[in-house]
């Protein structure tokens, strides 16, 4: 299929996913009922089930869409920075900006998916695991490995350790921010991580 060309069915499907994505991230991937999804999409049950075999399939598609938005933010941020320290700074800033200028309401979809899928939604849980693994290994740890290779980060820095710290503290801060309705937590954590980046960077230049 050529870019820009969509059959009518595809357009409808896309619209369903878009509306569902917005709703689910706010109301909860598990809590939102099919009735609410019907109201959000303006379609009836049968209309939705024409495009998705089950509510779960729609939820997964919507989750992917929301995660994709965040991934795109990261990609575009990385496109502007080459060095490992810079990219790590950018990584933090993306999430910080995500809180203060959210591209869609409801907070971080990765976190929300992780929170709400416990036990009841195994396929979503699996999907979240994949996303988080990618965040850890293919994003943060990869940046660190590249930085080590290029000598931008101190020898002995553990890529996996950095990844754990970054993802843990950021997702934890998003959780606090969301739970308490207080954005200072992500700011405090961001400041800490910026310091941390500087402490493991070989370069002397201050940000």
Partner DNA sequence: ACTGACGGGACACCCCGTTAGT
Partner DNA sequence: ACTAACGGGGTGTCCCGTCAGT
- Sign (positive/negative) of CA torsion 184, 188, 190, 191? positive
Region of 4-12, 13-21, 106-114, 148-156 interacting with a copy of itself (CB under 8 A): 106-114
Q: How many CA atoms lie within 13 A of 17 on its CB side?
A: 20
Interaction with DNA in 9-28: which residues (CB under 7 A)? 9-10, 12
Among 19, 28, 50, 202, the residue binding DNA under the rule CB under 7 A is: 50
3-state helix, strand and coil shares in percent for the chain, rounded to the nearest 5: 75, 0, 25
Region of 30-38, 110-118, 153-161, 198-206 interacting with DNA (CB under 7 A): 30-38
- 141 and 166 in contact (C-beta within 8 Å)? no
- Closest approach of DNA to the CB of residue 53, in Å: 6
Distance CA 64, CA 74 (A): 15
Interaction with a copy of itself in 46-105: which residues (CB under 8 A)? none
Region of 54-62, 65-73, 147-155, 163-171 interacting with DNA (CB under 7 A): 54-62
Distance CA 143, CA 87 (A): 7
Binding site for DNA (CB under 7 A): 7-10, 12, 33-35, 42-47, 49-51, 53-56
């Amino acid at each position: 299929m050529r870019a820009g060309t969509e059959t009518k069915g595809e357009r409808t499907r896309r619209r369903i996913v878009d509306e569902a994505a917005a709703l689910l991230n706010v109301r909860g991937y598990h809590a939102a009922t099919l009735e609410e999804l019907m109201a959000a999409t303006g379609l009836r049950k049968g209309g939705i089930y024409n495009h998705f075999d089950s509510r779960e399939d729609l939820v997964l598609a919507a989750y992917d869409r929301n995660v994709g938005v965040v991934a795109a933010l990261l990609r575009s941020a990385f496109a502007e920075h080459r060095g490992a320290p810079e990219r790590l700074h950018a990584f933090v800033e993306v999430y910080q900006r995500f809180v203060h200028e959210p591209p869609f309401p409801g907070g971080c979809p990765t976190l929300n998916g992780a929170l709400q899928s416990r036990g009841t939604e195994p396929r979503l849980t699996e999907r979240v695991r994949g996303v988080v693994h990618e965040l850890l290994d293919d994003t943060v740890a990869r940046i660190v490995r590249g930085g080590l290779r290029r000598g931008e980060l101190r020898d002995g820095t553990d890529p996996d350790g950095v990844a754990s710290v970054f993802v843990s503290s950021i997702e934890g801060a998003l959780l606090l921010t969301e739970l308490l309705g207080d954005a200072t937590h992500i700011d405090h954590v961001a400041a800490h991580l910026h310091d941390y980046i500087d402490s493991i960077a070989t370069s002397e230049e201050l940000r």
